[in-house]
């Protein structure tokens, strides 16, 4: 399952509210020790899950920023970009996107060659 940025934010907010509810139940003196232990364990699990989702969200933001940086380099005048900078940007792309680039470049060269041969 792939969740969008907004989906993950919504889940994090729901987890935060659930954690607050569990923490308030921990202060309830009428709950026995076994239930308190279960609630405490559940609260720790929810907190770990929330942190993991926040970290995943940060990774998505970082990947999005890298993709935008890569797109900006492609949009720039390539004569101003060093081969090393271009190579570094391309290496950061997933292999599937690099293969798409190779296909697009190959096809554009074929089209240009076929036009020039006419």
pLDDT of residue 81: 64
pLDDT of residue 16: 93
DSSP letter string, 19-83: HHHHHHHHT-TTS-HHHHHHHHHHHHHHHHHHHHHHHHHHHHHHHHHHHHHHHHHHHS-GGGS-H
pLDDT bracket for residue 67 (50, 70, 90)? low
DSSP label of 107: H
Please, what is the Cα angle at 18 between 12 and 19, to 5 degrees?
90
pLDDT of residue 52: 92
pLDDT bracket for residue 48 (50, 70, 90)? very high
**Average pLDDT over the chain, rounded to an integer:** 82
Residue written as token pair 């999005």? 64
pLDDT bracket for residue 101 (50, 70, 90)? confident
């Amino acid at each position: 399952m792939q969740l969008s940025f907004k989906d993950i934010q919504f889940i994090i907010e729901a987890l935060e509210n659930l954690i607050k509810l569990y923490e308030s139940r921990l202060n309830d003196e009428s709950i026995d020790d076994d239930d308190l232990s279960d609630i405490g364990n559940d609260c720790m699990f929810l907190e770990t899950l929330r942190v993991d989702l926040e970290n995943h969200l940060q990774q998505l933001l970082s990947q999005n920023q890298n993709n935008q940086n890569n797109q900006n380099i492609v949009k720039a005048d390539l004569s101003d970009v060093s081969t090393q900078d271009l190579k570094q940007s391309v290496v950061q792309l997933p292999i599937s996107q690099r293969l798409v680039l190779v296909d697009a470049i190959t096809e554009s060269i074929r089209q240009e060659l076929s036009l020039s041969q006419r």
